[in-house]
Amino acid sequence: MPLLPSTSARRRIHLRRILLEGWKREDGLWDIEARLTDTKDHDYPLASGVRRQGEPVHDMLVRVTIDREFNILAAQASSDAVPYPGGCDTIGAAYGQLVGLNLVRGFRRTVGEMFDGVRGCAHLTELLLALPTAAIQTFASEVRDNDDLGGKPFQIDRCHALESSTETVRRYYPRWYQGAAPAHDRQPAAVPDGVSSHGATGRDPPTDPPAPTIN
């Protein structure tokens, strides 16, 4: 169902696009890439100069290379368009510290601590927070969401639609259907240190990112 129409006449003044892609490499590893762009629908004056309509104010890119266990083996960050050239675009190398982390084991919490405040770029760090679920969905592309792999699918009891007592689970995952439970008996699932996602495993619960410094 689409959003309802706006209740007032309006005009767009800002556009942010966030793109995430998952790539399967020939060497058995995977690349997860994220890109953030900000553009204005008008000429935008900055201390460093005017950005013309449609010219990126931010163009940020991140890539991590991971193995099948979600371990980060390589990491790159690039700032191709920034509001303060010579300043914003010097932080990319710091994101090499991602190597050795695991996308589904405390990743968001660790990133929030590692690149908090002046230790990172708010926009690059924001991109990182989307990588775990993008990686999970990349791996899920190779397995049907309701394939019987022996154990309980990770996504069951990890979101409202897939609570084990719902009609959705009865219909698509009958083996794991528990029957409708009275509302007062329903308890939220205990989520291990993991990411909730449809169709794949993970262990990193979403956490609130640090308040960004707005550029």
For position 142, what pLDDT does the model report?
74
For position 162, what pLDDT does the model report?
86
Helix axes 131-140 and 107-114, enclosed angle (nearest 10): 150
For position 141, what pLDDT does the model report?
77
- Tokens 């699932």 belong to residue: 189
Residue 114 CA to residue 107 CA, distance in Å, equals: 10
**Phi/psi-derived region of residue 177, left when phi > 0, alpha when psi is between -120 and 50, beta in every other case:** beta
Q: What is the DSSP letter of 148?
A: -
For position 40, what pLDDT does the model report?
98
**Contact residues for 98 (Cβ-Cβ < 8 A; gap 6+):** 64, 72, 75, 111, 128
Low-confidence ranges of the chain (pLDDT < 70): 143-150, 154, 180-215
Kindly list the structural domains of the chain, giving each domain's residue range(s) and its CATH number in brackets, ordered by start: 14-140 (3.90.1010), 145-208 (no CATH)
